[in-house]
Structure 1
């Protein structure tokens, strides 16, 4: 991100917003640009091609031959896909789910997925158990929809910090998930969709006066101080820019307070180290699990999927697929 934003600044491209996710050693980012020379979106096709070529050179320089990568610049279009959903699509197209543990009873340390066919009803039943968090339902339904499955019924609930989701799905042609490999792929993709938004590292909230090359300056300071960005979101609000960065050191360890102070001095503005996010704890193995351990898992989050406890008919009818 540091190298990409530096090239954009050199090309007089003003970053108005940026969001980046990392998962399984892959990164997807969406950057909104304006033409600093003319103002507004970049509409000149030749300039778009030139900027895209320069970004492709940056990405290619850090990748091995044959490694998956993609850079694409597009002019403004009506009905743009929701940013978070587009990030899911980009990660899915990049096959970041391949390293996730999946299967008919697939699970990771924090996420459990099971899939069964209900032949008499003509549905496949997908059960997902994970730590509750904001946008969990959105992430799950986005994934099922973009994989070309239709959700006919759903039930969701939460108890403490644990969320349980149940989906009755079919393929677009009305068929159930017929093979073990297909069920394994669905499980892998659901685990990946939930993991992508799990934050790691120290969260730095930044508020500063907006200027050309601001993202380049911030990410350069991070890089020079040995920090790695795990997730980022920044945008412009009037003359101010604000955003959040989740950072670790290059080895994935915690960031020291001394490093945070150095960053504050170099970047300026207001920088607040909000909290250190960690990987959610493992799910309870059984109701008889040790009470002291279970209590740490069951602390209720501030926002809960449990507020949506319901039965939903044709849940995805207004959530149609959007092409890649």
Structure 2
């Protein structure tokens, strides 16, 4: 067979773009290098992989889940290749010395960075996982809301395996994992699920005003804290925030376009755990791609700078879109600084 015929055969195969992207990633798996000698005060983690939307979030998510603090980061993902360098420390401010922990970090990043992150869901199912049933709530925050939700679940013989509740700008969001109190397995009976949904809807609907309250069962395996960001984003908790623009306690977010290439997002805020994750998570779910970036944290203030474009390849062009991005990033930074409630094995009857 002639070369031209071979080429024609290749181009006429049924492999779609997604399959081709997976093939490229399998041929070029992520490479992670961890170095404890490159910096005097931090462990340096370098990640190289094929570039795809969401790679940065996957890597940051692993570091965040390991309770590592990102002191500095340098991001470059122009073209088809992604390269990040992170300087991290543990919660006590020390380098990571445990070789088992270092090996685990490397394997997690190489595994997670090689696969596509599911996009923001437009709908949810009613199928629980095998271990538990996941309940997602969204509504107006008010005194007594948590107690009423707890009472409903207790009356319905649900055991709360774990839960996390965020409040921001008068809105509340929760992801609650429950099991049947007697079998300690996921609740699958559709009639019982319908009853749980109806009663919880009644609780979160109270005093909701013009905002709709939501109670859904989810079969999603999306990272829980990412889901909370998505729920509050869907609930538009970033709208109508009244605050003094000169307040020293609030984050500062500015946007600037560099010709027609990128929009530069600059953020200054009080440093805290998981700050980088919250920002990158929001940019990713708003369908923006980080091409270059830098993160630097000091004892008090954190500085983040990202060169971004929308997934369609364009920078932010309208004032309305700029304002929306600023509002959403400010909300992402502030949500975790608001009241957050964690529960585990709390309610049993």
- Could you tell me which of 211, 226, 235 is aligned with 1:67? 211
Q: Which residue of 2 aligns with 1:181?
A: 320
How far apart, in 1, do the equivalents of 2:285 and 2:159 lie?
31
TM-score (norm 2): 0.54
Q: Which residue of 1 aligns with 2:152?
A: 7
The answer to whether the 8 A contact 2:249-2:270 is kept is no
Aligned counterparts, 1:170-209, within 5 A? 170-199=309-338
The answer on 1:130 being equivalent to 2:269 is yes
The answer to whether the 8 A contact 1:106-1:187 is kept is no
Question: Is there any run of 5+ residues in structure 2 with no aligned partner, and where?
Answer: 1-145
Aligned counterparts, 1:166-245, within 5 A? 166-199=305-338, 230-236=339-345
* Alpha-carbon offset, residue 135 of structure 1: 0.2
How far apart, in 1, do the equivalents of 2:288 and 2:315 lie?
9
Relative to 1, partners in 2 of residues 1:108 and 1:28: Cα closer, same or farther, differing over 3 Å? Answer: farther
Q: Which residue of 1 aligns with 2:291?
A: 152
Relative to 1, partners in 2 of residues 1:108 and 1:181: Cα closer, same or farther, differing over 3 Å? Answer: farther
The answer on 1:90 being equivalent to 2:239 is no
1:228-261: CA deviations, max 9, x gaps? xx3210224xxxx69xxxxxxxxxxxxxxxxxxx
Aligned counterparts, 1:21-170, within 5 A? 21-64=166-209, 66-74=210-218, 77=219, 80-100=221-241, 109-119=249-259, 122-170=261-309
How far apart, in 1, do the equivalents of 2:289 and 2:246 lie?
21
What is the aligned length?
Answer: 201
The answer to whether the 8 A contact 1:101-1:188 is kept is no
* Alpha-carbon offset, residue 101 of structure 1: 6.8
How far apart, in 2, do the equivalents of 1:7 and 1:148 lie?
37
Q: Which has the higher contact order (CA 8 A, sep 6+)?
A: 1
Question: Is there any run of 5+ residues in structure 1 with no aligned partner, and where?
Answer: 200-229, 243-324
The answer to whether the 8 A contact 2:205-2:212 is kept is no
Tell me the SS of whatever aligns to 1:40. coil
Over aligned residue pairs, what C-alpha RMSD do you find? 2.2
Relative to 1, partners in 2 of residues 1:44 and 1:108: Cα closer, same or farther, differing over 3 Å? Answer: farther
* Alpha-carbon offset, residue 132 of structure 1: 0.8
The answer to whether the 8 A contact 2:279-2:333 is kept is yes
The answer to whether the 8 A contact 1:107-1:191 is kept is no
Tell me the SS of whatever aligns to 2:263. strand
The answer to whether the 8 A contact 1:100-1:108 is kept is no
Relative to 1, partners in 2 of residues 1:16 and 1:58: Cα closer, same or farther, differing over 3 Å? Answer: same
* Alpha-carbon offset, residue 39 of structure 1: 2.7
How far apart, in 2, do the equivalents of 1:58 and 1:158 lie?
41
How far apart, in 2, do the equivalents of 1:48 and 1:12 lie?
12
How far apart, in 1, do the equivalents of 2:183 and 2:299 lie?
52
Tell me the SS of whatever aligns to 2:317. coil
TM-score (norm 1): 0.58
Relative to 1, partners in 2 of residues 1:106 and 1:116: Cα closer, same or farther, differing over 3 Å? Answer: farther
* Alpha-carbon offset, residue 187 of structure 1: 0.5
Q: Answer with 110-119 or 52-61: which moved more.
A: 52-61
How far apart, in 1, do the equivalents of 2:150 and 2:235 lie?
22
